[in-house]
A and B are shown apart, each in its own frame.
Chain A
Amino acid sequence: ETGVTQTPRHLVMGMTNKKSLKCEQHLGHNAMYWYKQSAKKPLELMFVYNFKEQTENNSVPSRFSPECPNSSHLFLHLHTLQPEDSALYLCASSQGGLWDIQYFGAGTRLSVL
């Protein structure tokens, strides 16, 4: 148990559905991240929040919408996704700083039909 909890662990959705992924960290960290991991590709950083403020958005399509109501919770709202969005979505948190260690949740495995 890393102290970062993601729900749901698995999600199957149609292209017209709206769903949300949830991440919660119990480590007292200040930064939270969303990553996408597809087969044969490196982890892709999607969004970063520092002290609830979004500091990075790596050209992610608008059908992915993050929300960070406080420094312990992070959501990823999904709307009209495409089949190529099927992947493992990982949440991470860290204290902040150059030699930051990121702690990852177990991920949500998403399938878009």
Chain B
Amino acid sequence: RKEVEQDPGPFNVPEGATVAFNCTYSNSASQSFFWYRQDCRKEPKLLMSVYSSGNEDGRFTAQLNRASQYISLLIRDSKLSDSATYLCVVNRSGNQFYFGTGTSLTVIP
């Protein structure tokens, strides 16, 4: 079983739409969680960390459900500039980071 699983999409949504991505992880000992964003032919960059209490940054909201071992990312009022691949990342301990395959989002005018 993969450490981290994501629906690869693609998700094609109109501007202004709300879109949600989910990610599941297999190891219950995982301790920290992140969403990274990767633009086409660019390197991944941190979008937000995902804390147990959930966190919000502008139009982006991340939630963690430890009991069900999943992480979610909600994007409200989608912009064209949100088009990218969103990577779910889990850290089990120390420097052991596990990445999902990514979910592709295209926001359409």
Contacts and interface: CB of A to CB of B under 8 A. Distances in A.
B94 A42 contact: no
A2 B43 contact: yes
Given A41-B101, A42-B100, A43-B87, A100 B44 contact: no
Contacts, number: 57
A90 B44 CA distance: 9
B49 A55 contact: no
B31 interface: yes
Interface residues on B, range: 20 to 34
Contacts of B87: 42-43
Contacts of B72: none
Contacts of B44: 43, 90, 102, 104
A104 B97 CA distance: 13
A15 interface: no
Interface in B45-94: 45-46, 49, 87, 91, 93-94
A102 B69 CA distance: 22
Nearest to A50: B95
A29 B68 CA distance: 34
Contacts of A41: 101
Contacts of B105: none
Contact of B102 (A33, A42, A50, A56): A42
Interface string A39-50: 011110100101
Which residue, of A31, A33, A42, A100, has the highest number of chain B Cβ atoms within 10 A? Answer: A42
Given A100-B91, A102-B97, A104-B43, 15 more contacts: A2-B45, A40-B8, A42-B102, A43-B87, A43-B99, A45-B97, A90-B43, A90-B44, A100-B32, A100-B95, A101-B34, A101-B49, A102-B44, A102-B46, A106-B42
6 contacts: A33-B95, A33-B97, A42-B2, A50-B95, A55-B95, A98-B31
